[in-house]
Structure 1
Amino acid sequence: MANPYDKAHELANELKQSEEFTKLQDLHNQVNADDVAKRMLDNFRQIQMDLQQKQSQGEQITEEEVQNAQQQFEVVQQHETISQLMEEEQRMSQLVGDLNRIITEPLEALYGVDQGEEQ
């Protein structure tokens, strides 16, 4: 019988060797090597985190804060490497989400049937 932890480590190694990961890693390194790009991206991500924190605490986000975030997004999107990095991050997020759905299918099937019977 296969050990799920061994399979998870195999999957992690496969992911590290994937084209998606290596491209993401390369773009990440490019942005980090460019002081201006890194500062721009760090600033944008800080704004995102601040807004998410306010939202999670139930605080109202002002129109000014939304506009500032949108302006910062437009600025970072104009930087070619940052834009490519963000696109690749989105692809990687989609891949990890797909893998998560596949891994959790047995649990969903198990609990989906149980929940249906209880109703």
Structure 2
Amino acid sequence: MSNIYDLAYELEKGLRTQPSFLELTSAYEEVKGNEEAYALFQEFTAMQQELQMKQMSGEGLSEEYIEQAQEIAGRASTNEMIQKMMTAEQQLGTVIEDVNKIIMKPLQDLYTTETTDAE
């Protein structure tokens, strides 16, 4: 029987060769190569992280802050290079979600079986 951690590392290697990951890597390198797009991407990422931290801490968001975040997100979403990168990231996210469903299947089966047995 294979070691579960060895399988996880194999999965990681496989993920790195997925077309969606390679496309994301290429799109990210393109963004990094453009000073304006990269600065906007960094601003967008910093805003996302700050927003996440505020939400996790339960801190309220002022209207001014929300407007600023929406403005940055709007600029990022209209930048062609960033949009291409976000699309590639979404495609990779779909692959990761599919793999997660497969990985979680034994647990789901266990609970489904227990629920069915209890009835």
Structures share a fold, TM > 0.5? yes
- Bin of the TM-score, shorter chain as denominator length: 0.7 to 0.9
Partner of 1:73: 73
Tell me the SS of whatever aligns to 1:2: coil
SS in 2 for 1:77: helix
For residue 91 of structure 1, what is the amino acid of its counterpart? Q
Q: Which runs of no fewer than 5 residues in structure 2 stay unpaired?
A: none
Cα deviation code 1:51-96 (max 9, x no counterpart): 1111111111112211111111111112111011011111111211
Identical-pair percentage: 31
Structure-1-length-normalised TM-score: 0.88
Task: Spell out structure 1 runs of 4+ moving beyond 4 A.
Answer: 115-119
Q: Which runs of 5+ in 1 are unaligned?
A: none
Structure 2 residue aligned with 1:49: 49
TM-score, normalised via structure 2 length: 0.88
User: Aligned residues, how many?
Assistant: 119
**Which residue is equivalent to 1:27?**
27
- CA shift for structure 1 position 116: 6.6
Structure 1 pair 113/47, CA: closer, same or farther in 2 (3 Å)? same
How well do the aligned residues superpose, as a CA RMSD in angstroms? 1.9
